[in-house]
Homo-oligomer: A and B are copies of this chain.
Amino acid sequence: MARTQEQRRAETRQQLLEAARDMVAERGIAGASVDAVAEAANLTSGALYGQFGRKEGLLVALLDAWKDATASVIAADFEASSSRDDQLASLWRNLADPPADGGDAWVLLEHELWLYACRHPGARSTVAARYEDARRSLADALPGAAVADDPASEEGLASLLIALVIGLEMQRRLDPDAISDELAVAGLRTLVDAFARTRERA
């Protein structure tokens, strides 16, 4: 029966994390008060402090959950694509029109946590590690990954692709008509092709 208690605790924890994810995405970190998050999870602030100690504890836990949830989904979707264009299209769609649980929340949360990391040195390394993971796993999944003679340049390409996707998504969110899917995929394709051409020469 100790098992049931653990489960209940885990459920409470996840309810709080989901509520926090949505509320931080909607109102920002400062705007998501402890009481409001707890109430949205049909709990009270006491439960939240019992689980995370302080508000920052909730944010750190949210950071980890966000790290796991997004990276794995994107990587799986990427590798499941058959053609190279499908791969790049899935990379773009996953940010521009996210299908995962939580939907839009993760994208705004991404920026919220990025800002938080820029201002709080303690959290910076966690967020930095998440971006590095994204670069690495994307570099591994890239077309020419079999040739492992210069992993640095492969991660460079991954950096460019991620940068392009994030920057385009920012512009599209302000004005959906400003960025077409075709433009995004064409831009990604251009970078990948240029990389492949450089690779052939060497």
A128, CB-defined interface residue at 8 Å: yes
Q: Report the separation of the CA atoms of residues A167 and B160 in the bound assembly, to the nearest whole angstrom.
A: 8
* Copies, count: 2
Contact, CB under 8 Å: A183 / B166: no
- Cβ of A79 within 8 Å of any chain B Cβ, yes or no, is no
Pick the contact of A183 from B27, B28, B127, B159 — CB < 8 Å?
A: B159
A57 to B106, CA, bound (A): 29
With A119-B27, A163-B163, A175-B132 as contacts: A190 and B194 at CB distance below 8 Å: yes
Give which listed residue, B111, B162, B165, B171, contacts A111 with CB less than 8 A. Answer: B111
With a 10 A CB-CB cut-off, give which of A117, A174, A179 has the most chain B CB atoms. A174
Q: With A111-B111, A174-B117 as given contacts, are A163 and B160 in contact (CB-CB < 8 Å)?
A: no
Q: How far is the CB of A139 from chain B (nearest CB, A)?
A: 12
Interface residues of A in 150-180 (CB under 8 A from B): 156, 159-160, 162-168, 170-171, 173-175, 178-180
Note all chain B residues with C-beta closer than 8 A to A190: 190-191, 194
Please give the distance in Å from A108's CB to the nearest CB on chain B.
Answer: 6
A162 neighbours in B (Cβ, 8 Å): 167, 171
Cβ contacts A to B, 14 pairs, < 8 Å: A28-B115, A28-B119, A108-B115, A111-B111, A111-B115, A118-B174, A156-B183, A159-B183, A163-B164, A163-B168, A163-B170, A164-B164, A166-B166, A190-B194
- Going nearest first, the 8 A-B pairs with the smallest beta carbon separation are A163-B167, A30-B30, A128-B174, A167-B167, A166-B167, A190-B194, A163-B168, A160-B187
If A162-B171, A163-B167 are given as contacts, then 19 extra A-B residue pairs at C-beta distance below 8 Å, sorted by A number, are: A27-B119, A28-B29, A28-B115, A30-B31, A108-B115, A111-B111, A114-B170, A118-B173, A118-B174, A127-B174, A131-B174, A159-B168, A159-B178, A160-B183, A163-B171, A163-B187, A167-B167, A187-B191, A191-B191
